[in-house]
């Protein structure tokens, strides 16, 4: 079983406008509402890959009700903790001749509500996977990831952490099964610029020395490099083509890697499925469908 944690989920309200004006009222040509949050993205792709999972985190108000309803409609299992101090946030995305994004801060969460989420984690058992993805919102204590990891560190749970900077560094002490920085984030961790695969391998191994078992580094146009716990280094490139969007690609890669490892226990296979998921999402306007992932995986399976 895989559990994902999204501490500050959102509804993304996307409005499409021909030309954005600042001297008059703008009228949209179309609108859509999507659910969002890095952990939720991981759960979405895992569900499409038929991997049993459950999305955890906080929701509140009528927007929280809508988010849960939308997830249920797409067959995504969730068990969010309800909060009383506000509503699940709405992010506004305006797509026109230029793009304008306004992300809401999100609701406040009480100490009691945090304690209730931590208590729920008691249900996670040995062999399960816990995915912590994204930054910690300002409305939550900065050490909440550490609290979660400390609670479960001796329970045989595999931790996956997709975070940046000091947040990622602090999680390394809990020996995560997988961390997934991109090449810029990896360099920033050590105050260097990673210019080639050799640089990436050097600093990925430093993360292993600090506690990470497997380090998956996404490298933009150059694909991804995996330094696994056996000492093997594997690099896989991207499928050629013009990407449609980068939103959710990293989350899709994490989901694919986790799914691949759970299916076969093989890191090379997990990397290929992770790359297939990430690339499939890059060529889609939304998170990739199962059909899009399968088509992309056919390419990687031949490598």
Q: Which two tokens stand for residue 135?
A: 């930054």
Q: For 64-205, list the strands marked E by DSSP.
A: 81-82, 89-95, 99-102, 129-133, 158-162, 178-179
| Residue 251 among the catalytic residues | yes
Phi and psi of 101, rounded to 5°? -115, 130
Name the catalytic one among 251, 266, 294, 298: 251
Task: Provide the 10 A C-beta neighbour count for residue 21.
Answer: 11
Nearest Cα residue to 234 out of 300, 298, 189: 300
Rounded to whole angstroms, the Cα distance separating 109 from 19 reads 38
Rounded to whole angstroms, the Cα distance separating 175 from 280 reads 30
Do β-strands 214-218 and 224-227 pair in parallel, antiparallel, or remain unpaired? antiparallel
Catalytic site residues? 251
């Amino acid at each position: 079983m895989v559990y994902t944690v999204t501490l500050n989920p959102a509804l993304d309200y996307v409005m499409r406008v021909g030309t954005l004006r600042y001297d008059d009222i703008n009228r949209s040509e179309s609108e859509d509402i999507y659910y969002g949050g890095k952990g939720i993205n991981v759960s979405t792709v895992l569900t499409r890959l038929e991997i049993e999972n459950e999305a955890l985190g906080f929701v509140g108000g009528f927007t929280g009700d809508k988010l849960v309803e939308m997830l249920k409609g797409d067959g995504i299992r969730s068990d969010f903790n309800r909060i009383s101090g506000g509503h699940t946030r709405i992010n506004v995305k305006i797509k026109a001749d230029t793009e304008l994004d306004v992300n809401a801060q999100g609701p406040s969460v009480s100490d009691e509500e945090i304690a209730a989420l931590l208590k729920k984690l008691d249900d996670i058992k040995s062999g399960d996977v816990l995915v912590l993805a994204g930054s910690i919102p300002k409305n939550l204590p900065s050490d909440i990831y550490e609290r979660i990891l400390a609670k479960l560190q001796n329970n045989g749970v595999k931790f996956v952490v997709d975070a940046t900077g000091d947040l990622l560094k602090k999680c390394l002490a809990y020996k995560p099964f997988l961390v997934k920085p991109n090449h810029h984030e990896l360099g920033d961790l050590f105050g260097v610029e990673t210019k080639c695969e050799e640089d990436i391998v050097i600093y990925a191994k430093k993360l292993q020395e600090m506690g990470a078992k497997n380090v998956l580094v996404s490298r933009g146009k150059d694909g991804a490099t995996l330094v696994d716990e056996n000492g093997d280094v594997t690099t896989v490139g991207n499928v050629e083509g013009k990407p449609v969007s980068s939103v959710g690609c990293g989350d899709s890669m994490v989901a694919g890697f986790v799914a691949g490892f759970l299916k076969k226990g093989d890191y090379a296979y997990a990397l290929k499925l992770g790359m297939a998921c990430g690339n499939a999402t890059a060529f889609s306007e939304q998170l990739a469908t199962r059909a899009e992932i399968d088509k992309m995986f056919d390419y990687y399976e031949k490598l």
